[in-house]
């Protein structure tokens, strides 16, 4: 299966670990083309880098195009800013596009309790898998 890993770029290190694990079990995995710029950064440093890439490199459009070429997305939604299972605005948009395109959506953790878009995420029927990547089928 061809999978794109999505999530806050603050989780770049975790994304690369997940990519390696998924490839070991024969998945074809895509990540953001900007991920190398975020490895080892703090959340705050990564946020500044994200804004630069969005403005100067059209990073959203570049990465969103990849969603047209995958079968599924895996959202790594860990704690960030004191919010358990964090899904930020950009990841929410990626999930929405994946849903519209008919892609499967997998979450590492349950849907976050973020009232402004919790119901929309639940309506996409994501499958919560934890770190058991063998559940991606």
Ramachandran category for residue 102: left, alpha or beta (phi over 0 → left; psi -120 to 50 → alpha): left
In angstroms, rounded to a whole number, what is the distance separating the alpha carbons of residues 2 and 70? 5
- The pLDDT assigned to 115 comes to 87
Could you tell me the pLDDT band of residue 43, with boundaries at 50, 70 and 90?
confident
Domains, the chain: 2-135 (3.40.50)
The percentage of residues in the chain with a pLDDT greater than 70, rounded to a whole number, is 100
Cα angle value 74/80/83 (rounded, 5°): 100
Q: Which of 1, 28, 2, 3 is nearest to 108 (CA)?
A: 3
In terms of pTM, does the model score above 0.85?
Answer: yes
In angstroms, rounded to a whole number, what is the distance separating the alpha carbons of residues 68 and 84? 29
């Amino acid at each position: 299966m061809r999978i794109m890993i999505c999530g806050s770029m603050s989780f770049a290190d975790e994304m690369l670990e997940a990519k390696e694990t998924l490839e070991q079990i024969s998945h074809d995995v895509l990540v953001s083309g900007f991920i190398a710029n975020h490895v080892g950064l703090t959340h705050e440093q990564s946020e500044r880098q994200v804004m630069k890439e969005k403005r100067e490199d059209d990073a959203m459009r570049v990465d969103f195009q990849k969603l047209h070429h995958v079968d599924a997305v895996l959202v790594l939604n860990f704690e960030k800013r004191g919010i358990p299972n964090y899904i930020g605005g950009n990841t929410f948009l990626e999930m929405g596009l994946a849903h519209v395109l008919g892609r499967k959506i997998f979450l590492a953790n349950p849907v976050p309790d973020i009232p402004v878009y919790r119901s929309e995420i639940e309506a996409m029927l994501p499958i919560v898998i934890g770190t058991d990547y063998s559940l991606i089928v």
